[in-house]
Structure 1
């Protein structure tokens, strides 16, 4: 499985934001469930602050939320 170009570009943007100290962790609400999510955002400023969300932190144990490439998900 290869990583798509848009994901690579977003990751590079995230790395640049981290290098420059332009990251924020924001509490937001999930658009579907309304549950709280802790979202990693890049921060820029053009007059007002602009927060660009990149993803949220995994709830619970992240080792249980993901499987490596080539592995089969555990049956539930």
Structure 2
């Protein structure tokens, strides 16, 4: 199984989250350096509020 095939279920979940509007862009702090980073998160809603599940970190500059 390739690396891409291993991540296909997560990608499909993310695609559905975008289709449903259940995605947000948050500013987080990188634990290793303390630097601020932009993170794409899936938003889970329940009766207690929201839970954010990080799925991708945005690159700064050309990776």
TM-score category, normalised to shorter length: 0.7 to 0.9
Aligned residues: 61
Q: Following TM superposition, where does structure 1 have runs of at least 4 consecutive aligned residues deviating by more than 4 angstroms?
A: none
Q: CA RMSD in A?
A: 1.5
- 5+ long unaligned stretches in structure 2: none
- 5+ long unaligned stretches in structure 1: 66-76
- The normalised TM-score by structure 2 is 0.86
Bigger RCO of structures 1 and 2 (CA < 8 A, at least 6 apart): 2
Q: Which has the higher strand share?
A: 2
